A and B are shown apart, each in its own frame.
Chain A
Amino acid sequence: MEVRAQVSMTFHLDKCIGCHTCSIACKNIWTDRKGTEYMWWNNVETKPGTGYPSKWENQDVYKGGWEPKGKSIGLKVTDKFRGLANIFHQPHLPTIDDYYEPWTYKYSDLFDSPAGDDQPTARPVSLITGENMDINAGPNWEDDFGGSEIYAKNDPNFAALSDSEKEALFEVERLVFFYLPRICNHCLNPGCVASCPSGALYKRGEDGIVLLDQNVCRAWRFCVSACPYKKSYYNWSTGKSEKCILCYPRLETGQPPACFHSCVGRIRYLGVVLYDADKVEQVASAPENELVDLQREMILDPHDPEVIAQAEKDGVHFSVIESAQQSPVYKFLKQWGMALPLHPEFRTLPMLFYIPPLLPVLGHVEKGNYDVDVENYFGSLDKARLPMKYLAKMFTAGDETKVREVLEKLLAVRMFKRAEQVDDIKQSDVDELLKKTGLTAQDCEEIYRLTALPTYEDRFVIPPMHREYVADALGDPYDFKAAAGVGGFNDQPARGL
């Protein structure tokens, strides 16, 4: 056993209102530069939908993530020798058109146009070429388009559904959608790191944040292909790749990442978890149906004296262990078993976990009226509007029982609180569901509080990053200036000749 710490995240999808405040917060800080206009390190997708870049979940096309090879696994897009042979032309690289061509408007035309019979217009111009362009794709182009023939219907996750199931889903009365905010998952077995021929990408040992060293990057672009979540981006202007840095300069000063901090729905939780680094290859190579459970198993109990002892031996600072004991991610993921990884079948062991949405599943229309069954206030999972199969394809590699378990827990908490506060639900029904899900009354109360009433300190338990141990007193303090997010470059990082 080798204990390492990982800054980990949980997104509660029932709480996401799809406002994109997170995306804007991130964009304003990190990707408002030339060459990064098309990048959304944080983006919010409408599901069902094709996403960003278009149909990114379809790895037959994008070749992201890992696949079983022999007893272990190998990258889909490259291996040690194929990587070198394909270095002059990378066969599976997405192009800017798979994302969208960024644009602005010629606002000056509104002021500078000569007087005429018509109102002047601000024409869209490409942010790459500066030429006039027609806009036919953009970020969130499919926003709220549940049921769209072009977007929702082409969701790669529908592959598992039969045609009749698909048709039923697109009846007007059953139209349904929810939001899926995505950032870099800071995986335990990152495809981007493994694929980089230059070794520019790395995982930080102390906190597991995956970063890309721009001084080492030589623009081979394998990270762009190998990341199954398409969260590594190529800056066409500087000729370097870039990715989400989990706002590490903010984390190091005790602040949550900008997308977390700004989240209006307060859906985001961040905390450190301890895991057994020796198990990474073994878990990532497991059969598909065991991936979720095994990944959960490799997260260690920070209260276990044995784990604590080993963690201290492996150099995890005691303050980080203390932080892990308070982690909201640990509670959702391990204690209550409610958080699931996105597409575990990609085998990167993502460390961003999602609590799947219950609301769009339960909403039900009967004879044109929204059905609020007096007998059965919250409806039932059997009459689910969004097929369980669809959610299973996203969060459990197709295993419906695992999604169902989580949704039942969400339902149990609701029933418990409804019975307690409004008292129109039979206690026997509540007890039955509690027994089935294995939650206690105390669990329900805690889940309720962490879901509905969490404070800033409950949501973000940021471990001390201990930069003071790194910048030793004998070194030049200016060497470390850049690490705090200011300085570092004497000039703007510019494209080479």
Chain B
Amino acid sequence: MTFSEFMFGVFPYMCIIIAIVATTWRYVTDKFSYSSLSSQFLENRNLFWGSITWHYGILGVLAAHLVGFLIPETILWWNMEPIRLYILDTTGFVLGLMALVGLSILIVRRFTNSRLTVVGSNMDKVLYAVLFIQVLTGVLTAISYRWGSSWFAGFATPYLWSLVSLSPNVSLVENLPFTVQLHILNAFVFILLFPFTRLVHMLSVPIKYIWRPHQVVRWNRRKEILGPF
């Protein structure tokens, strides 16, 4: 097994399996630790600029990746007209830039405010590093190797599907430029870190709030009481 066969053919599975097992384990044994761990209460102003830009930027980028993964043919069809390709690529680039700016604000905020250093953990620092590498390599890829929305469908999508079908096709990615390779590998590190960092807050998206009744009542006993009525 060559080095790249290991990194692109085995390492992803290791990360994903560890992430799934550890996330389940953490949820079952330590629900208390699931929290967005918001620091807005200690610092409000900069969080607005950082958090809003970061979250909407990264959510947009992730959604774009997901679309490219699920419907590559549609993306290629869309990109047949150059103007539509420009629009799609620019949108992706702007979203990536938003995420980069937001993340930078959040990192600076975290390390310059003494109240926030108190509530930051070592895993937060690791996570910041991984996220920053991920977003930076993503933005650099967009700048250096243009029309990513098209070639993503040609390289990344088949590679990811080959992972899903348990027959990893390493040849699709082993000759890609280093920036792109780092982006791919770092993405699996990101998945690996999921259960060991505050990333688990992604599982707490409170969708249920939309349809649940406003008031919540919990009964200790709703069954008929066996009492001397």
Contact = CB atoms under 8 A, between A and B. Distances in A.
B38 to A, nearest CB: 5
Interface string B22-53: 00000000111111111111111001100110
Contacts of A239: 35-38, 119
B114 interface: yes
Contact of A469 (B41, B210, B225): B225
Contact of A203 (B52, B55, B117, B216): B216
Interface stretch (A80-88, A424-432, A437-445): A80-88
B197 interface: yes
A217 B38 contact: no
A199 B212 contact: yes
Interface stretch (A190-198, A268-276, A451-459): A190-198
Given A239-B38, A469-B225, A204 B33 contact: no
Contacts of A467: 220
Nearest to B229: A312
Interface stretch (A89-97, A379-387, A406-414): A89-97
B51 A89 contact: yes
Interface in A195-238: 196-199, 201-206, 214-221, 224, 234, 236-238
Given A131-B114, A193-B216, A219 B37 contact: yes
Interface string A27-71: 000000000000000000000000000000000000000000000
B82 interface: no
B102 to A, nearest CB: 10
Interface stretch (B2-10, B132-140, B165-173, B201-209): B201-209
B218 A202 contact: yes
B51 A236 contact: no
B45 to A, nearest CB: 9
Given A81-B210, A497-B123, A205 B220 contact: yes
B35 A240 contact: yes
Contacts of B48: 89
Q: Among B34, B38, B207, which residue has the most Cβ atoms of chain A within 10 A?
A: B38
Contacts of B216: 193, 196, 199, 201-203
Contact of B35 (A196, A201, A496): A496
B219 A218 contact: no
Given A129-B118, A204-B220, A315-B222, A497 B52 contact: no
Contacts of A206: 219-221
A128 interface: yes
Contacts of A203: 215-218
A189 interface: yes
Contacts of B198: 496-497
Interface in A354-403: none
B121 interface: yes
Contacts of B214: 193-194
Contacts of A189: 215
Nearest to B113: A129
B224 interface: yes
A95 B42 contact: yes
Contacts of A495: 33, 35, 37, 119, 121
Interface centre among A83, A89, A199, A216 (most CB of B within 10 A): A89
A83 B209 contact: yes
A315 B209 CA distance: 28
B20 to A, nearest CB: 17
A88 B52 contact: yes
B147 interface: no
A81 B43 CA distance: 25
Contacts of B38: 219-221, 234, 239
B209 A236 contact: no
Nearest to B224: A315
Nearest to B45: A95
B41 A470 contact: no
A234 B41 contact: yes
The 6 A-B residue pairs whose C-beta atoms are closest, nearest first, are: A496-B33, A197-B206, A205-B219, A194-B214, A239-B35, A239-B37
Interface of B: 30-44, 47-48, 51-52, 54-56, 114-115, 117-119, 121, 123, 196-198, 200-201, 204, 206-210, 212, 214-222, 224-229
Interface of A: 80-81, 83-84, 87-90, 93-96, 128-131, 189-190, 193-194, 196-199, 201-206, 214-221, 224, 234, 236-240, 280, 312, 315, 317-318, 466-467, 469-470, 493-497
Given A198-B206, A205-B220, 13 more contacts: A80-B209, A89-B40, A93-B41, A193-B215, A198-B209, A199-B206, A206-B220, A218-B206, A315-B224, A318-B228, A318-B229, A470-B221, A493-B32
7 contacts: A84-B206, A89-B40, A95-B44, A130-B118, A190-B215, A198-B204, A280-B215
